[in-house]
Structure 1
Amino acid sequence: MRGSGKRGAVRKQLLRGAAISAALLVGVLTPHLAHAQRAIPETTDDVRRLPIPPVDRSHEPVIILAGGTLLDGRGGAPIPNAVIVLQGDRILAAGPAGTSVPANAARTIDARGLWILPGLIDLHIHFTQQRGTDMGRYSDSPAAAAIRGTVLAEQMVTAGITAARDVGTMDDVALRIKEAVDRGMIRGPRVLWSGKLIASTGGHGDEVTSTATGREKPNLGGDPHGVDGPWEWRKAVREQVRRLSDWIKISAPAAREELAAAIDEAHSLGVPVAIDSYGKYTDWAIEAGVDTLEHPLLLSDQAVPLMKKHGTAFVPTIGAFDNLLEGGYPTAGIPGGGFYYTHSRRFVINQQDHLKRVNEAWRAGVPIGVGTDIPFENEWRYPDAYFRELDYLHQAGMTNADVLASATSTGARILRMGDKLGTIEPGKIADILVVGANPLDSLKNLRDVRYVVADGKVVVENGPR
């Protein structure tokens, strides 16, 4: 860069940095391109946005959805008798009848009487969760977790959930599920993964006893799992980015400078950060610029104003705590009523307070996303848990339209994929859900799945009824 002197050069550098930072906030550039002057034309369809060669989709088959009512996710009125044109993994056109369509369509889906909307998004899952009525009979392993995660991926996409963020996984299981979906080896949602949860020694994720049961975890070994001090937290972030993580997941308790160091390091590498937190640690993380707050646990009265001020998104996972209060997880030996035997959860949880905090955040204009966080018994709790989570958001005061936005367009923006997902418009990835009735009338209508298109492929066909 040329300048008229050292001060001028520094001033230009600062102005240029400020301009790029502003652009990042509105999604004009992807975070990892903060040093670049031009956006890269073609990137990977994940948060990392790695440059890839141009993709020629002109020879891919064309699919048309015609006659349904379109809720395109952009906030406008429903579009009756709509036409959506897909080619390969992208949307070519979307609009009312009369929208230009290619003459060489490989398939036309008759959507008359049906409702068409963007695929749903779950922002808080763990592919390595346990399942089964006799968990204690079998020891766990990455291979076992991968099998369970593959089953969960199938459950998700068949319910119309076409994108999911894994916020903490055993080994590289979530990455390999992401790879298997991308390569067409299994059916599942688009996966964004967070690698290993980063925790301080003895913090949430590094306790020797499991949450709620009080049983000592097996196979901890002699090596420390937690990290301590700002530079160890920075190194842990770098290790997760090196492992191809799309997001970083951190937890409390931790020192203020540790949280700030991890968030700063991740942002310097163009990777967003989620936190599982509570109390003062939440306030510290928000002030340090954390991107999403997971759970409404022990929020201070300052938390929501701080989220609004700093642009923090909120993923409440209300159902996860209602499950814990109302019966627990019997097959895992976890009794209902609250958190038990865990050092990092020494406080009472209250469902009405959680709903109140979500309402407070919604009224303040904090972006709210949908996340389930079901750690056990997914074979019968999922996908019902997702739709119950939508109901909880509605109970918290959100309108059906706002809840639907949280599950689609708002969720995509929180995911850092708003330019590729969350709405039905030309250029976006073809992730589409077709249901039998208007979800704006009742969120229960989202359960009536007729077709699911994921990455341009029709993966579910229930057809007319």
Structure 2
Amino acid sequence: MRTLLTHATLVDCVQPQPQADTAVLIEDGRIKDIFAAGQAPAVGDAEVIDLKGAYLMPGLWDVHIHPDYFASLADMPLPEQVTLFGHKLQAAMLESGIMGLRCAGAHHYMDVAWKRAFDSGQHLGPRLFAAGHFLTTTGGHFLTSGHALECDGPYGFVQAIREQIKNGVDHIKLNLSGGIMGPAWDLHRHSFLLPDEIKAAFDICRLREFKVMAHATNPEAVKAAIRLGAHSIEHGYILDDECIELFLEHDVWYVPTLSISHLTPGQATNDWEQRWVKNRNLAHSLCCRADAAADVHQAGFLKALKAGVKMALGSDIRPLKDAALLELGLWVRDGATPWQALQAATRHGAAICGVGDELGTVEKGKIADLIVVGGNPLEDINNVRRLQLVLKDGRIVSDKRR
């Protein structure tokens, strides 16, 4: 199957300037060739789609997601929870152009189940990278989410990690510290694991060659995770200068999840944020905790950005179809350029998941997971919301041009 996309304004996420009147030839699900203005080839048997100057770019990525939170199976039976998660994953792709997602915790391996369903072609959906449960201590972070496993002692963590591996996860999620969203004893300035527990957890991951997605929210937890070999640091609400130096020295990814500390009634700055905050209806005490953490979080984010730390976009909020779009806006609001934000949500999202050679940019030979939007996202990052087309493996799966 061959498709020629003509009259595209190409934002390839390799170079920061849009390329006007470009043509892209797709063959058997991959980008066969890219032609500059006036150089489109004879089409032969290819289907021709005239984009009429709209902006063609890679699909978006959100590399920190969870299913909805239900305290127990009594709130919603497991089959319904699994089905709902799959529906929301599909909606993220079809309604918002989010083509890749990395899970940060899901009970009963529902993320593994949907990854297999999507990869096998049984169901249409995004590229999904599974974590299974996230692992923390007794009395650890976000136990009310329903997605945590409580572990204690070195062998407790080793056994739990082996169970995750046996059940088909792509990476291991470790919650090393507290958070902003939680009860009074779950604080982001507190670290939870003892030295022998954290060392054992990282040791078994290294032996089994599994990447660690480390929830680390304060300098002590961030530094320990980086030194022990974390693949990525999630949140990093408090970062000091030594944290930044270690990020660079060890070439570790940072996923800042600005949405957690920035989306409160007092901080919402546009209609999208205000609607989300109203629907979320977060408890006043949690809004206060988020507001109190926001400035320090922003300062660490900017420090990492200016230092050149590798950074990818992850939202940690729901619904998935809105989450990455809100996070993109917060990146720019907090001081990133639209180009930096867009790279974090495309090229870097694919790279952190280990598939940067195949996805994340519009280049010859890569898989054609693409979106078309009606405005230039490098002028206004919120133009990614003006979605027209979604293509997965070169095939149109969502058409909103009407």
Both structures adopt the same fold (TM-score exceeding 0.5): yes
Distance in 2, Cα, partners of 1:324 & 1:268: 42
Secondary structure at the residue paired with 1:86?
A: strand
* Counterparts in 2 of 1:330 and 1:450: CA distance versus 1, 3 Å: closer
| Residue 384 (structure 1) aligned with residue 322 (structure 2) | yes
| Residue 338 (structure 1) aligned with residue 286 (structure 2) | yes
2:156 match: 232
Secondary structure at the residue paired with 1:249?
A: strand
1:372 match: 315
Check conservation: 1:256, 1:281, Cα contact below 8 A.
no
From 355, 359, 367, the counterpart of 2:298:
355
The alpha-carbon deviation at position 313 of structure 1 amounts to: 1.1
| Pairs within 5 Å for 1:240-389 | 240-252=164-176, 253-279=192-218, 280-323=220-263, 334-338=282-286, 349-374=292-317, 378=319, 382-389=320-327
Amino acid at match of 2:254: F
Structure 1: runs of 5+ lacking an equivalent: 1-60, 212-216
The alpha-carbon deviation at position 442 of structure 1 amounts to: 0.7
Query: RMSD across aligned C-alpha pairs, in angstroms?
Result: 2.9
2:351 match: 413
Check conservation: 1:193, 1:247, Cα contact below 8 A.
yes
| Residue 170 (structure 1) aligned with residue 94 (structure 2) | no
Distance in 1, Cα, partners of 2:352 & 2:231: 8
| Residue 148 (structure 1) aligned with residue 84 (structure 2) | yes
The alpha-carbon deviation at position 385 of structure 1 amounts to: 3.0
Amino acid at match of 2:204: E
2:135 match: 198
Amino acid at match of 2:52: R
Distance in 2, Cα, partners of 1:264 & 1:128: 31
Check conservation: 2:58, 2:369, Cα contact below 8 A.
yes
TM-score, scaled to structure 2? 0.85
| Pairs within 5 Å for 1:89-238 | 89-97=29-37, 98=39, 100=41, 103-105=44-46, 107-129=47-69, 139-158=75-94, 159-205=96-142, 207=143, 210=144, 225-238=149-162
Structure 2: runs of 5+ lacking an equivalent: 177-191, 267-273
Give the count of matched residue pairs. Answer: 376
Secondary structure at the residue paired with 2:24?
A: strand
Check conservation: 1:116, 1:434, Cα contact below 8 A.
yes
| Pairs within 5 Å for 1:46-85 | 61-75=1-15, 77-85=17-25
* Counterparts in 2 of 1:404 and 1:99: CA distance versus 1, 3 Å: same
Check conservation: 2:222, 2:236, Cα contact below 8 A.
no
Secondary structure at the residue paired with 1:152?
A: helix
Check conservation: 1:256, 1:285, Cα contact below 8 A.
no
Among the aligned pairs, what percent are the same residue? 28
| Residue 393 (structure 1) aligned with residue 317 (structure 2) | no
Secondary structure at the residue paired with 1:275?
A: strand
Distance in 1, Cα, partners of 2:264 & 2:216: 17
Check conservation: 1:297, 1:349, Cα contact below 8 A.
no
The alpha-carbon deviation at position 137 of structure 1 amounts to: 12
Check conservation: 2:92, 2:322, Cα contact below 8 A.
no
1:428 match: 366
The alpha-carbon deviation at position 75 of structure 1 amounts to: 2.0
Query: Which has the greater radius of gyration?
Result: 1
Amino acid at match of 1:117: M
* Counterparts in 2 of 1:136 and 1:244: CA distance versus 1, 3 Å: closer
